[in-house]
Amino acid sequence: MYAILDIETTGGKYNEEGITEIAIYRFDGHKVVDQFISLVNPERPIQAFVVNLTGINNQMLHNAPKFYEVAKRIIEITEGCIIVAHNAQFDYRILSLEFDRLGYPYERKTLCTVALSQELLPGHKSYSLGKLTRALGIPITDRHRASGDAIATVKLFKMLLSKDTEKKIIQESVRAFPRKNMDKKLKDIIHEVPSVCGVYYMHNVNGTIIYIGKSKNIKKRLTQHFTSDNRKSKKIQEDVAAVTYEETGSELIALLKENEEIKRNKPVFNRALRRTKYKIQLSHFTDDEGYINFKTEKADDRKRSITTYSSIASAKAHLDRITETYTLCHNKTGLTNSNGNCFGYTIKKCEGACIQEETPEVYNKRAQNFINTYSYENKSMLVVDKGRDVDERSVVLIEDGTFQGIGFYNLNFQLNNIDILKSIITKMDNNRDAQHIIQSYLRTKKTHKIIPLSTMTNP
């Protein structure tokens, strides 16, 4: 749990400042679950330059509560939380200073979104909250007021959690607040996770990730883990100390995140999934008569392919469907290998390419149509799918046939600037599994939308 906050102060000499406004959003890693916003009477004058910056003046604070009147609420809303702020060293110092004046020992762990942004979002000219959120397409209102800056920090932190593919942030959170007697609380874990699409992370008592999985219904999948009596599940039940999750909305994003983060984090119970599991590829060539032919073969990163499969059986099943859909020749798709006409010609489902009754030019148009539909080789495009909220969409970036990464954007923000697009993308490896996941999703799911990068503009 996180307490994301922003504080406005009077300005003045070091450790003589007072709080004029505070906003705290209690954030569970997915949504805001509680909030506290208040002006505060600092019982000291506000510096003139601060008045000009924030618009808060001494008269506005005359009837505002003094800090001791809001201190109990601040303690309650930040209890069991890591304090998160943009330049956390400043905000935490000011908060601790006010509690010191009351004689109360206020101690919380902190995270700074400036430092996190510099690590996870390198290359920006400025890491000030205003300039960084503008560069990332994060809307911000009431700049230099506590509530406006704090809610912008919530949105920034949510992006940083998504960018943190090594899961350092959530692992540190689990270490900071370990569960006790976990062997009795598997039901509590299940109760706390929602029935949403996403990726889940099982941690041991040290916060280390021991298993990563994805599901269209995380609650249902965890119930299966914790009620199964096979040897692996029983070992997981013994070792798990906490479960965190990341909602994705899109199954495609969940699949890509699971693939990337298993390979990156190498959880002890994901041994099988660390290895590439899509071992068959579909490629094409042109024969001596000029016809496009398809063949299945062992996957090889050095060779060009249209798509990949987990087994020969699934490859053959797909070939059978596309042969019928595109009226292709059984001999040319490798389903049969007869010297004369193919079986499809016999049952009038082949136009005769097998016996050169149909010209290569006519036949190849249909074959090329299939290739263009199922291969993203040399294409630059966005695959847009469902987001985590109704006003959000997910996006997969492909440039020149290479998978670059994933991101999320708000529908209120028009996604037409390439630089902003790339800044919201979490980079991922273009490995064979990722390629298969995207290709398989494109050929089997109809919920997505394709946007060519050529329609976007440079600033």
CATH of the domain at 126: 3.30.420.10
Do 333 and 407 share a domain, yes or no?
Answer: no
Token pair of 444, please? Answer: 């089997």
389: containing domain: 381-455
Q: Are residues 243 and 112 in the same domain?
A: no
Domain stop point among 317, 343, 374: 374
Q: Does the model's pTM come out above 0.75? A: no
The answer on 231 and 121 residing in a single domain is no
Residues sharing a CB contact under 8 Å with residue 353, sequence separation 6 or more, in sequence order = 291, 328, 329, 331, 332, 360, 363
Query: Does 395 lie in the same domain as 356?
Result: no
First and final C-alpha spacing in the chain = 38
Helix (H, G, I), strand (E, B) or coil at 66: strand
Question: Which tokens sit at 37?
Answer: 């916003």
Nearby residues of 82 by Cβ (< 8 Å), 6 or more positions away: 1, 2, 3, 108, 109, 110, 111, 172, 173, 176
> Rounded CA gap, 76 and 43, in Å?
24
Q: Which of 244, 274, 304 is the last residue of a domain?
A: 274
Claim to verify: residue 146 and residue 20 sit in the same structural domain:
yes
Element (H, E) at 202: strand 198-203
Residue 203: predicted pLDDT: 93
What is the distance between the alpha carbons of residues 253 and 405, in angstroms, rounded to a whole number?
10
C-alpha span between 91 and 37 (Å, rounded): 15
Question: Does residue 391 share a domain with residue 300?
Answer: no
Same domain, 40 and 131: yes
From first to last of its 459 residues, the chain has per-residue pLDDT tens of 899 999 999 988 888 899 999 999 999 888 899 999 999 999 999 999 899 888 899 889 989 999 999 999 999 999 989 999 999 999 999 999 999 999 888 989 999 999 999 989 988 889 999 899 988 888 888 888 999 999 999 999 999 998 888 888 888 887 777 654 444 568 888 888 899 999 999 999 899 999 999 999 999 899 888 888 788 888 888 888 889 999 999 999 999 999 999 998 999 998 765 455 677 888 899 999 999 999 898 887 777 788 888 788 888 888 898 899 899 999 999 888 888 889 889 888 899 999 999 999 999 999 999 988 777 777 888 999 999 988 889 999 999 888 999 999 887 766 677 777 888 899 999 887 888 888 878 777 766 788 888 776 655
Pairing of strands 392-399, 280-286: unpaired
Q: How many domains does the chain have?
A: 4
Question: Which one of 241, 259, 274 terminates a domain?
Answer: 274
Give the separation between CA 344 and CA 336, rounded to whole angstroms: 9
